[in-house]
Amino acid sequence: MSIIYREKESTFQLDTPGSSYILGLADKEKFAGHIYYGRKIGEDDVAYLMRTEEPPFLPSENNRDRNSFLDSFPMEYPGSGGGDYREGAVGVCTKGGHRTVMPLYKEHRIYSGKPKLEGLPATFGTEEDCDTLELVLEDKLLHLELVLYYTAFRELDVITRSIQVRNQGTEEIYLTKVMSLSMDMDNRSYDMISLNGSWARERRIQRNPLGIGRQSVGSVRGVSSHQAHPFLALAEKNADQKRGEVYAVNFVYSGNFLAQAEVDQFGSVRLMMGIHPEGFCWKLEPGERFQAPEAVLVYSCEGLGKMTRTFHDLYRNHLIRGKYKDKKRPILINNWEATYFDFDTEKLLEIAREAAGLGIEMLVMDDGWFGRRESDNGSLGDWEVNEEKITGGLKYLVDEVNKLGMKFGIWLEPEMISPDSDLYRAHPDWAIQVPGRTPSLARNQLVLDLSRPEVLDCIYEKVAKVLRSANIEYVKWDMNRQLNDMGSAKLPADRQGELYHRYVLAVYELQRRLTEEFPRILLENCTSGGGRFDPGMLYYSPQIWCSDDTDAVERLSIQEGTAMIYPLSAMGAHVSDCPNHLLGRSVPFATRGYVALAGTFGYELDVTKIPREEREMIPEQAAMYHKFNDLIRTGDYYRIASYQENHEYDCCQVAAKDKSESLVTFIQVLGRANFRSRRIFLEGLDPEKRYQIEGESRTYRGDTLMYAGLNVRSFLGDYQGKLIYLKMV
């Protein structure tokens, strides 16, 4: 058991292989306090770290300064309105309009395994994998219980957190805030690391000193968003890829979120993550429960690299599910950048015939196959095949593609509705909108109110009917706008504040149904590229389209930020045409292949129109993918050099778990005159074994390559790259 309770000291200790998380109870009122989180320590009484023997002392000893105590005590899950003037983790409004809530310890339970979260994605583990502490807090006046779930993984430095709120009283209570995680700790001059960006510039790494006050990242767009990412890390000033302490938190949720670090007057840090309170208000009737999403907490004392590999192992083994969990994905070609809306059956088959002969394994038909969809101005919601374009019907097309030895995939956008659609004309009230206001369009579309069961059922049946009609083995699930004008024609006035969260729950329900009815289908989530690339989506789809920006140079930074948390097998990455459709930049075809290899690998171009020399390289790239994908999908990832930092070159490495082989991807973005070779220092090798680089006759000791380094000669020209493959000999 990795969790113990010391009754004498009233402390709980949660241990992982390299970390300890300790909390305890203080005073007669049993305030739940945070004591320690960091490197693993042995069993000892560390309750003194809560500073209860210092002024302002415990309320039972000094009630005249109760406010001062509450405003400085390291609360494990702080309430609000009672004297702690830092950010509260839970907010309420009673029937009488009062907002103070003070959760205190009631009871606890410790057991092996990990509970599921009703209606929500979450990491999973067996009784052999992890142990769970349920810490029950209560506000006796409000008859409100808060069950804090802590799960410690036995083989990973991971602790997951979530909370369930229960109304045990006789009157309704309105929840205005429910954070999934709160943790108080002393500030040691941390840097705050976050992932930010915009459409086509997702997940750029940002690192700033943590100062006094509240510093946060968050989204109120209805999705986790391109602009902000549900991730935050606190790192020591000297922390880099190999050294230093890092505390990181990631949210298993796909809607509005807030991740925040607050430094108070005493230099303490309060780290929080949860559903963003803006626009959130949940009515909790007597006897009802509210389940908050899960937050994943990772600790590393070996820098950002160890943090990354911990996240990768957790998500590969305890979040991603289904047929493709541990399986190589088919090499696909998507027709979007090849044809946009201008295609028919014969054009698709022309692409498929050429692609099949080159080693491509799946054709994906993107937007434009349904309703009267000739542009992005209509027909969303009308999920019936347009047989004027898809002559002979969908089954004929799929069968013809299958005859070529290829799988078939399809694009869908189930969450949306076009004002110019048969569905909207029949059910205008099915769109999210505020009565009396002209709704704001984005991409000329509105969002369906999936919180209504009849809407969800209708859309699922429309989509499922298409998927049942032919041998479809892949779905690209897109979402091309964010939420606003939040209003539901079905929810009562005092529940309109629930719409954001109910919408996310409905999306999860749709994807649950789809993956259960069609377990053979490879689902790839997409939100205008990477606008909803989060752990919640990974629970349903083993891969997510990383960004609509397919330019290989831009992808270096996008994929670096994404891979800081998510396994390479989750990153949708394609070789696209040049000049790039978004930037106009031209990058050598080989380099585009090297960059896309660090992901799921596929093509986004018209294979019938690209130059012959590029077309002839596709079989080589397909062979490259098949040779290295098992290693890339399962190995340990190391960031060797960052183009985002040095502005000249990029280098990453994947090493097999048993250290038997390794692949280094080196991309020279900018060439330089009169410049010597660059020296790189590899990682993840056995220092006492010898390795041979493919194409070379000599061998190197592992410690030589890791500590003395390897020289990589400069290339002539910009945007050049190479793979360095090493095998133990």
The rounded distance, in Å, linking the Cα atoms of 433 and 487 is: 5
Beta bridge partners of 75: 33
Bridge-based pairing of strands 416-417 and 407-412 is unpaired
The rounded distance, in Å, linking the Cα atoms of 381 and 417 is: 5
In this structure, is the dihedral angle defined by the CA atoms of residues 390, 391, 394 and 396, taken in order, positive or negative?
negative
Q: At what angle do helices 552-563 and 589-597 cross, to 10 degrees?
A: 10
573 within 8 A of 596, measured Cβ to Cβ = yes
Q: Which residue has the tokens 């509260």?
A: 88
- Please calculate the CA angle 56-57-62 and round it to the nearest 5 degrees: 90
Has 478 been annotated as catalytic? yes
Does an H or E element contain 631, and which? helix 618-634
The rounded distance, in Å, linking the Cα atoms of 488 and 446 is: 13
Does an H or E element contain 557, and which? helix 552-563
- All residues at 6 or more sequence positions from 655 whose CB lies less than 8 Å from its CB, including other chains: 635, 636, 638, 661, 662, 683, 684, 685
Query: Measured in whole angstroms, how far is the alpha carbon of residue 599 from the centre of its chain?
Result: 15
Given 131, 478, 551, 606, which residue is catalytic?
478
Has 548 been annotated as catalytic? yes
552 within 8 A of 595, measured Cβ to Cβ = yes
Looking at residue 555, its amino acid is R
How many Å is the maximal CA-CA distance in the chain?
84
Is 252 buried (19+), middle (13-18) or exposed (0-12) by CB count in 10 A? buried
SS3 633: helix
C-alpha to C-alpha distances, 483 to 250, 415, 428, 434, 453, nearest whole angstrom: 22, 11, 17, 12, 19
Closest CA to 402 of 472, 450, 458: 472
Q: What is the 3-state secondary structure (H, E, C) of 295-338?
A: EEEEEECEHHHHHHHHHHHHHHHHCCCCCCCCCCCCCEEECHHH
Given 548, 549, 551, 650, which residue is catalytic?
548
Does an H or E element contain 649, and which? strand 649-655
Q: Which residues are catalytic?
A: 478, 548
